[in-house]
Amino acid sequence: MNELNRRDFLLRAGTGLSATWVSANWLAILSAATHAHNAAKAQTPPKFEFFNPEEATEIEAIATRIIPTDETPGAREAGVVYFIDRGLASFGVEDQKTYREGLPELQARVSEMFPSVSKFSGLAAEQQDAVLHSFDERSDSPRRAFRARPGAQNFFETLRQHTIAGFLIDPDYGGNHDGIGWKVIGREREHMFQAPFGYYDKDYPGWQPAAKEAEKK
């Protein structure tokens, strides 16, 4: 793509940006967009590096209760399990132990609460939530007395944070597949924005000194 074509591309891609504004900030926009594009290209195709397929199923099942799929997509559609897997093999190596030890403890709680079931993924959604509430220290739900499982509690908290991060991270950095998390929270996936930004500044008449404001009353 030569520079001129790229500019056309950006003009089309950057919805709501005026041509004058883009042209005034052209170099900066190009460098930012190219940079992001290169980062996106560097992503590897989804393939598990840390989890085995069975673990991945369980992790995804838990992540799906942390950010469920309802009228809008959730952790599953955002590919959070892939983000976590890659994270544990790279920046989050020190959390590997938390996952290795915590997941079996969590599964033990599943059998404690629902003796006929051995896997989290085998429970109905409400049952899954009940298991997770039993680890959530700050949960309001009534809790039965269970054997303390600090490993699983720590694991749940870590997985909660990783799921949220994988859902909301800039899609150029290995999670938030297709910008799904940002669509859910209403964040446009652009690398640059032009005023007006929101409802309250769209009709702002420009700065006026307070004295004039007082006269208007």
Q: Using CB under 8 A as the criterion, which residues of the chain lie in contact with another protein when the complex forms?
A: 24-25, 27-29, 31-32, 35-36, 39, 65-68, 70, 72, 74, 87, 91, 129, 132, 136, 138, 160-161, 163-165, 168-170, 172-173, 181-182, 184-187, 191-201, 204, 207, 209-210, 213
d(CA 81, CA 59): 7
Least distance from another protein to the Cβ atom of residue 178, Å? 15
* Nearer to another protein among residue 52 and residue 202 (C-beta): 202
d(CA 91, CA 127): 32
Least distance from another protein to the Cβ atom of residue 137, Å? 10
Is residue 118 helix, strand or coil?
A: coil
What is the three-state SS of 10-58? Answer: HHHHCCCCCHHHHHHCHHHHHHHHHHHHHHHHCCCCCCCCCCCHHHHHH
* Nearer to another protein among residue 116 and residue 199 (C-beta): 199
* Nearer to another protein among residue 19 and residue 210 (C-beta): 210
Least distance from another protein to the Cβ atom of residue 48, Å? 19
d(CA 191, CA 189): 7
